[in-house]
A and B are shown apart, each in its own frame.
Chain A
Amino acid sequence: MNTCPLLLHSVNAGFPSPADDFVEMQLNIHDHLIKHPCASFFLRVGGESMKGAGIYPGDILVVDRSLQAQKSDIVIAIIEGEFTVKQLKFNQHGKPRLIAANRAYAPIECDNIEIWGVVTGVVRKYK
């Protein structure tokens, strides 16, 4: 949903506002964060495994499902029926590995890692 500026100032007859001809759509953070609206979803971070990549518990991840996951992308994968956020890497045999950005978490290797989507952004609110 875009916002639309509403011109509420009443104009006295004969004195049009000089700004009226230059009204533009206000900036919308959605446009900046999302390239493919149909395929993009927000998920909330619930663990500390990606702290080293600046992804903290409570953050909102912007996830684009239309992208093919590339090496080094941060991805959402499904492991044992749960969503997990990790960095995608490949070992020398070309097998996918999910790497945490936190030493306390071991890499995950398995034959058929299901990638749910690619993380394209993170949103954090301080107040």
Chain B
Amino acid sequence: MSSANTNEWIALADCNNFYASCERCFNPQLIGRAIVILSNNDGCVIARSAEAKALGIQMGVPFFEIRPLVEMHGVLAYSSNFPLYGDLSARVMQLLHVHAQEIEFYSIDEAFFTLPTTHCPESYCTSIKEQVQQCTGIPISIGIASTKTLAKIASKLAKKSRGTFLIQEANRQQVLENTLIEDIWGIGRRLSKRLQNCGIRTAWQLAMADEQYLLKRFGVCMLRTSHELRGIPSLALENSPEAKQSIRVSRTFPESVHDLDSLLQQLSFFADRACQKLRQEQQKALYVDTFIEGPYPTRKHRSTRFYLDSPSDYTPDFIHAVELSGQKLFHHCEIRKAGVTLHHFSSKNAWQQDFFSLPRDHQKQNTLMQQFDSINQKFGKGSLRFLSSGKREFSRGARLSPRYTTSWNDLALVK
């Protein structure tokens, strides 16, 4: 227990097959069955239960490609039900929060947290795991170590053992020798290729690599990772997440789009949704990227960028921008997928400081968007829309399970 006294334990709690587990919470018939969850408009597989993984269904594969497999093995496919996943995530995080000294909500299904030093870390985390499972029905795994990068490795091992795994000085070398470079947090495919070319193949080799060499060849981030693998904490828990740097809304279309009008309607709808998210974040954006993509297998990709005169969160500004972009990109070919991304954010509050000196139309625009958002909040997404985005219904996916925890009409039935 050499490092236990010098620094605190960092745990990473990770929900097992989170979306699939959420679907099972209120539908016990799904326990033990192969489930996949599909992206918006039921385009691609974004989550799989353990049984579906065992059938060889890959992450991100287009749904139509696995149809034969789905029919043969009776795999159940669900549209993504984010109201349900979001609610269960909030409950899991709240329960973790109670037991944590400090906590960083890393994603919808993962959180880093520090443990009180007075406890045996493994038994403490086992009791947290059991409590989360009992209260929410969501199974979780917890990896424990002296740094975030090691905790991430421990959480993967926790899934293969009894749901918790502790990396300490006694077993660190053995664990790292058995961890491949591409399985380390923050090291993607490109970096792992470069590391392999330098003869660094395992996490242990990276931990033991020469500092100056790493710094010169790979930069300071790699040096930090190496320190973390040695058990020297170099990444702090982030309790106040950075504001988003970009907002993207894209869809794979259920049926290909062939004409300009339909494309512009779709883009306008994306811009509308992206701007709603932008205002939620209290930000303004300066430019927007628009892209279109052709059909499988070539997926020919075209994109363009449009700068506004000044940062904005006013939807019509962006609808205008993406319509011009769409006209520029369109070339009478079949389109399977399209999307928009807002970039270069500045804080809305920076603008509001000189509220009284704003030109009148800015004030009007602000009021209009506030009213627009509050009506949509009150009466449901898409109640109020821009005419340019057409008369489309808000798509909820054809295979959506009930919103068991967020809609009175969707409560689970009890016999």
Residue of A at shortest CB range from B33?
A81
9-residue interface stretch from B132-140, B257-265, B287-295? B132-140
Known contacts A38-B94, A39-B91; is-contact A83 B415 (Cβ 8 Å): yes
Chain A residue numbers with a CB within 8 Å of B413 are 43-46, 83
Interface size counted on chain A using CB atoms at 8 A? 25
Cα–Cα distance between A41 and B31 once the two chains are bound (Å): 19
Give the residues from 55 to 72 in chain A that come closer than 8 angstroms, CB to CB, to chain B.
60-61, 65-66
Contact A47 B134 (CB under 8 A): no
Cα–Cα distance between A116 and B411 once the two chains are bound (Å): 15
Chain A residue numbers with a CB within 8 Å of B72 are none
Within 8 Å by CB of A65, from B29, B31, B135, B414, lies: B135
Known contacts A38-B94, A41-B405; is-contact A47 B415 (Cβ 8 Å): yes
Within 8 Å by CB of B412, from A36, A44, A81, lies: A44
Chain B residue numbers with a CB within 8 Å of A65 are 134-137
Q: Does A84 contact B (CB under 8 A)?
A: yes
Give the residues from 62 to 108 in chain A that come closer than 8 angstroms, CB to CB, to chain B.
65-66, 76, 78, 81-85
Known contacts A43-B414, A65-B136; is-contact A82 B91 (Cβ 8 Å): no
Q: Is the interface of A mostly helix, strand, loop or mixed?
A: strand
Interface size counted on chain B using CB atoms at 8 A? 18
Residue of B at shortest CB range from A45?
B414
Contact B414 A84 (CB under 8 A): yes
Give the residues from 63 to 120 in chain B that come closer than 8 angstroms, CB to CB, to chain A.
91, 94-95
Chain B residue numbers with a CB within 8 Å of A42 are 405, 411
Instruction: For the complex formed, measure the closest distance between the CB of A27 and the CB atoms of chain B, giving whole angstroms.
Output: 20
Contact B415 A49 (CB under 8 A): yes
Cα–Cα distance between A83 and B131 once the two chains are bound (Å): 21
Contact with A along B120-164 (1 / 0, CB 8 A): 000000000001001111000000000000000000000000000
Instruction: For the complex formed, measure the closest distance between the CB of A33 and the CB atoms of chain B, giving whole angstroms.
Output: 15
Give the residues from 1 to 42 in chain A that come closer than 8 angstroms, CB to CB, to chain B.
36-39, 41-42
Instruction: For the complex formed, measure the closest distance between the CB of A9 and the CB atoms of chain B, giving whole angstroms.
Output: 22
Instruction: For the complex formed, measure the closest distance between the CB of A55 and the CB atoms of chain B, giving whole angstroms.
Output: 9
Q: Does B28 contact A (CB under 8 A)?
A: yes
Residue of B at shortest CB range from A42?
B411
Known contacts A38-B94, A78-B28; is-contact A83 B412 (Cβ 8 Å): yes
Seed contacts A38-B95, A82-B28, A83-B415; 17 additional CB < 8 Å A-B pairs:
A37-B94, A38-B94, A39-B95, A39-B136, A41-B404, A41-B405, A43-B414, A46-B415, A47-B415, A49-B415, A61-B414, A65-B134, A65-B135, A66-B135, A83-B413, A85-B414, A116-B28
- Taking Cβ atoms with an 8 Å cutoff, the residues of B that contact A are 28-29, 31, 91, 94-95, 131, 134-137, 404-405, 411-415
- Taking Cβ atoms with an 8 Å cutoff, the residues of A that contact B are 36-39, 41-47, 49, 60-61, 65-66, 76, 78, 81-85, 114, 116
21 A–B contacts, CB within 8 A, in A order: A36-B135, A38-B91, A38-B135, A38-B136, A39-B95, A39-B136, A42-B405, A43-B414, A44-B412, A44-B414, A45-B413, A65-B134, A65-B136, A66-B131, A66-B135, A82-B29, A82-B415, A83-B28, A83-B412, A85-B414, A85-B415
